């Protein structure tokens, strides 16, 4: 059966290649740091299940030590001159879009198709499996039609990977921090604090506390999933549902979306907010967060109003 | 109460702009110690979670494809396509992308688009080209603004589309949690209530995109007026 393990093998190959290209690159003054960093990521992808929990923890500490103390650099090598790019673009024209769309198209088709064969594919992971397949297909098409040298995608991918740098593992790191928070019971303590802050006997006050609390706690945790159980236990269940007899489906569904408004406003949601700033090579790493605030705040108000007017009819 | 120190470490560390990876490790250490865990247990808990969350980092395998296509001038082609299109504006382009992202996410296709897959190679260069066409020339700050708008539009489309899908993680989380309280709901009863917010998100963000278009057009107009005056 094809599971995520196969995708991890492919991801490991990619990270190993990023490490190798750095290792032999004399134009990058920190090439050993980069090579070690992506090399460790390859080890994690390939052998993470064999390392044990403590071993994986040590691997994380090594990653943080390399990145946290300035061990990562960027190369000047492998940059393709604009003139070459424009010349090639003129030659291949809009066919380039077709290759770019191979990945989403395969992800789309694979998601529906592979679900029909639960004996061969892990149905819970079909989209990620299809995504990996799409990458391989796009590379094959690129090799056949563009006559791209086999090393070109990896050396160019390495350049993009290094421009993202340590931000690439931030999402995974924050997910892990969430696990430590859960183990330490941080959520229950925060819930207790918030419960004390609500004025007694006010439905509007409770609804606002629920919505704003979802957004704020999501901003701290970087993830609405971590905030949700805490806020439901602190306000949603005891007050909105039990005391004021609100509709649980509406309170939960829209409460979660109030949390998503918080996700838009925090650097802690790294994969959505910091990673794109790195990918787009923005000067201000918080530019995406700042841009989203003017949509997130009005939308949060709308969500709170929706809960108030829909859930308590 | 002491476990809240971990949150304080996060907030202060991010504010003082320490490397976020160091801040996260420091926060995990402080939280764990405050909760009475020993160092071995903290490292193990962190390592286990890191290993379980590897799927988050799979998306980087698209970079070799994006790198290859960019070396063949994909971004230039994306810009060329837009500058050849009459009536293409930054706002309309991004509003169209917003709608498409919400619609695909609403049927569960959250990974078909995203920052590495679509925003960097296609959406951002297209939005930039459209803005150039509208405003004449762009200064660096505007370039940044248009790029940040492209990334923001992707996030907003994803967040306020995905919960309409029945089998997305957050819907299953809600169902599971409510069951613990003895409330049994079907995923459909939850996901249908994501629709009003999805519409509101499109209206609010769409309005901001319309304002962006107006600003870019106004700039072009003032440049032309100046040219005439000169």
In chain A, domain spans: 4-168, 185-310
**pLDDT for residue A183:** 86
Q: pLDDT band at B85, cuts 50/70/90? A: confident
**pLDDT for residue A148:** 87
Q: pLDDT band at B175, cuts 50/70/90? A: confident
Q: What is the mean pLDDT of residues B188-209?
A: 95
Say whether both B107 and B40 belong to one domain: no
Say whether both B97 and B113 belong to one domain: yes
Contact A79, B33 (CB under 8 A): no
Q: pLDDT band at B192, cuts 50/70/90? A: very high
> Is A183–B178 a contact, with Cβ atoms under 8 angstroms apart?
no
Chain B residues in contact with A106 (beta carbon < 8 A)? none
User: Chain B: residue nearest A170 by CA?
Assistant: B21
Contact A219, A267 (CB under 8 A): no
> Is A14–B22 a contact, with Cβ atoms under 8 angstroms apart?
no
Contact A234, A253 (CB under 8 A): no
Q: Which of B11, B28, B52 lies at the terminal end of a domain, its last residue?
A: B52
- A49 touches B at CB < 8 Å: yes
Say whether both B122 and B13 belong to one domain: no
> Is A80–B71 a contact, with Cβ atoms under 8 angstroms apart?
yes
Please report, rounded to a whole number, the percentage of residues in chain B having pLDDT higher than 70: 97
Helix (H) or strand (E) holding A275: helix A270-279
> Is B111–A14 a contact, with Cβ atoms under 8 angstroms apart?
no
Domain span at residue B154 reads: 58-229
> What ipTM describes this predicted complex?
0.86
Q: Which of B11, B26, B52 lies at the terminal end of a domain, its last residue?
A: B52
Q: pLDDT band at B102, cuts 50/70/90? A: very high
Say whether both B91 and B186 belong to one domain: yes
| CB contact set of B208 (below 8 Å; sequence gap of 6+) | A294, A295
**pLDDT for residue B84:** 80
Say whether both B66 and B93 belong to one domain: yes
Say whether both B20 and B82 belong to one domain: no
Size of interface A-B (CB pairs under 8 A): 412
| Cβ atoms within 10 Å of B182's Cβ, excluding its own | 6
CA atoms within 13 A on the CB side of A206: 23
- A279 touches B at CB < 8 Å: yes
CA atoms within 13 A on the CB side of A130: 23
B59: left (phi over 0), alpha (psi -120 to 50) or beta: alpha
Q: What is the pLDDT of residues B116-148, one digit of tens each?
A: 989 999 999 999 999 998 988 888 999 999 999
Tell me how close the Cα of B220 comes to any Cα of chain A, in angstroms.
Answer: 23
Q: What is the pLDDT of residues B49-84, one digit of tens each?
A: 999 989 888 889 989 998 999 899 888 888 888 888
| CB contact set of B151 (below 8 Å; sequence gap of 6+) | A276, A277, A280, A288, A291, B115, B119, B124
**pLDDT for residue A53:** 96
Considering only residues 195 to 214 of chain A, which have any Cβ-Cβ distance to chain B shorter than 8 Å?
none
Tell me how close the Cα of A202 comes to any Cα of chain B, in angstroms.
Answer: 23
Tell me how close the Cα of A110 comes to any Cα of chain B, in angstroms.
Answer: 11
Q: What is the pLDDT of residues B32-48, one digit of tens each?
A: 999 999 999 999 999 99
Helix/strand/coil for A2: strand
> Is B3–A185 a contact, with Cβ atoms under 8 angstroms apart?
yes
Number of domains in chain B: 2
**pLDDT for residue A36:** 97
Q: pLDDT band at B229, cuts 50/70/90? A: low
Say whether both B17 and B86 belong to one domain: no
Residue with tokens 């980069």: A34
Q: Give the pLDDT of chain A (313 residues) as one tens digit per residue.
A: 888 899 999 999 999 999 999 999 988 889 999 999 999 999 999 999 999 999 999 999 999 999 999 889 888 778 888 888 888 888 888 888 888 888 888 888 888 898 889 888 888 788 789 889 999 999 999 999 998 888 999 999 999 899 889 988 987 888 788 888 888 888 788 878 887 888 778 899 999 999 999 999 899 888 888 888 888 888 998 899 999 999 999 999 999 999 999 999 998 888 899 999 999 999 998 999 999 999 999 999 999 999 999 999 8
**pLDDT for residue A18:** 96
Q: Where are the alpha helices (DSSP H) in A69-202?
A: 82-92, 95-114, 126-141, 151-164, 170-184, 186-197
**pLDDT for residue B230:** 60
**pLDDT for residue A210:** 94
> Is B51–A146 a contact, with Cβ atoms under 8 angstroms apart?
no
């Amino acid at each position: 059966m094809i599971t995520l393990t196969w995708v991890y093998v492919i991801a490991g190959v990619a990270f190993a290649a990023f490490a190798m290209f750095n290792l032999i690159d004399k134009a990058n003054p920190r090439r050993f740091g980069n090579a070690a960093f992506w090399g460790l990521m390859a080890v994690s992808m390939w052998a993470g299940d064999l390392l044990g929990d403590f071993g994986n923890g040590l691997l994380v500490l090594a990653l943080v030590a390399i990145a946290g103390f300035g061990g990562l650099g960027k190369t000047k090598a492998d940059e393709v001159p604009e003139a070459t790019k424009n010349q090639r673009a003129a030659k291949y024209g809009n066919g380039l879009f077709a290759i770019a769309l191979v990945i989403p198209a395969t992800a789309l088709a694979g998601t529906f198709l592979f679900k029909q064969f639960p004996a061969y594919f892990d149905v819970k992971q079909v989209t990620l499996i299809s995504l990996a397949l799409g990458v391989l297909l796009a590379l094959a098409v690129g090799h056949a039609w563009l006559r791209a040298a086999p090393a070109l995608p990896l050396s160019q991918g390495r350049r993009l990977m290094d421009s993202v740098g340590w931000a690439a593992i931030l999402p995974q790191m924050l997910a892990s921090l969430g696990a430590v928070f859960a183990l330490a019971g941080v959520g229950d303590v925060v819930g207790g604090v918030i419960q004390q802050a609500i004025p007694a006997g006010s439905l509007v006050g409770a609804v606002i506390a629920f919505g704003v609390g979802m957004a704020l706690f999501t901003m701290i945790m970087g993830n609405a999933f971590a905030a949700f159980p805490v806020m439901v236990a602190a306000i949603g269940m005891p007050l909105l549902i039990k005391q004021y007899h609100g509709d649980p489906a509406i309170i939960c569904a829209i409460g979660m979306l109030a949390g998503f408004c918080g996700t838009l406003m925090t650097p802690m949601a790294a994969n959505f907010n910091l990673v794109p700033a790195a990918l787009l090579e923005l000067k201000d790493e918080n530019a995406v967060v700042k841009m989203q605030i003017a949509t997130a705040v009005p939308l949060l108000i709308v969500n709170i109003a929706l809960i108030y007017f829909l859930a308590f009819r | 109460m002491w476990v809240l120190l971990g949150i304080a470490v996060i907030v202060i560390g991010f504010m003082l702009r320490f490397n976020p990876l160091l801040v996260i490790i420091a926060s995990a250490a402080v939280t764990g110690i405050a909760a009475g865990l020993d160092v071995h247990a903290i490292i193990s808990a962190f390592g286990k979670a890191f290993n379980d969350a590897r799927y988050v980092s799979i998306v980087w395998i698209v970079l070799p494809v994006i790198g290859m296509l960019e070396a063949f001038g994909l971004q230039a082609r994306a810009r060329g396509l837009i500058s050849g299109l009459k009536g293409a504006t930054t706002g309309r382009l991004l509003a169209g992308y917003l709608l498409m992202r919400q619609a695909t996410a609403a049927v569960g296709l959250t990974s078909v688009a995203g920052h590495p897959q679509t925003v960097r190679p296609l959406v951002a260069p297209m939005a930039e080209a459209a803005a150039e066409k509208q405003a004449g020339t762009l200064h660096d700050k505007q370039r940044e603004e248009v790029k940040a708008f492209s990334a923001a539009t992707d996030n907003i489309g994803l967040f306020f589309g995905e919960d309409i899908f029945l089998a997305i993680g957050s819907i299953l989380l809600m169902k599971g949690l409510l069951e613990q309280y003895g409330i049994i709901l079907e995923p459909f009863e939850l996901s249908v209530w994501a629709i009003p917010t999805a519409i509101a998100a499109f209206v609010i963000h769409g309005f901001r995109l319309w304002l962006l278009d107006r600003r870019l057009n106004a700039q072009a107009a003032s440049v032309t007026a100046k040219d005439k005056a000169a």
